[in-house]
Amino acid sequence: MCSCPHETRISGGPAVLWVGFHKNGLAWTGRGGEPTWYSTWPDLRRGFCPRCGTHLISVADSTDMIMVTGFSLDLPHQRGIEPVGHSFRENAVPWMKITLTPEPPPSAATLPCGSSLARTPSG
């Protein structure tokens, strides 16, 4: 979870739930293909569905991780995306209460609009 001013302005919500994957362990599959990329910060790119414009991905230049918006994943009953951390918690709206899970749960990676992420043998 992140409640920094940058994320809350972009999302229009009080926080963004991110699920992280190693960049070299994923491949774009499905009819939606790779997202359309835009820079939203000096060293940060965001990926949007090329078909509907949904914000799906965030990638910082300085990391080997790719962050996927948690609720864009096609998970039954949204299980497996429970937050394990909350950055910029001090910026969170006072009425938002977050319960963090003790360990990262396993997660799937199917995105809307026909795009999906697949773990590659190296990941």
Structure tokens at 105: 């749960």
Q: Find the distance separating the first CA and the last CA of the chain, reported in whole Å.
A: 23
Q: pTM of the full predicted structure? A: 0.68
Cα distance between residue 19 and residue 109, in whole Å:
9
Asked if residue 48 has pLDDT above 80, the reply is yes
In sequence order, which residues have a C-beta less than 8 Å from that of residue 26 and are 6 or more positions away?
66, 109, 117, 118, 119, 120, 123
Per-residue pLDDT tens digits for 53-80: 888 899 998 889 998 888 877 776 666 6
Length of the chain, in residues: 123
Asked if residue 94 has pLDDT above 60, the reply is yes
**Confidence band for 106, pLDDT divided at 50, 70 and 90:** low
At 108 the pLDDT is 45
The closest alpha carbon to 60, from 106, 100, 119, 6, belongs to: 6
Q: Read off the amino acid at residue 27.
A: A
Structure tokens at 87: 């950055």
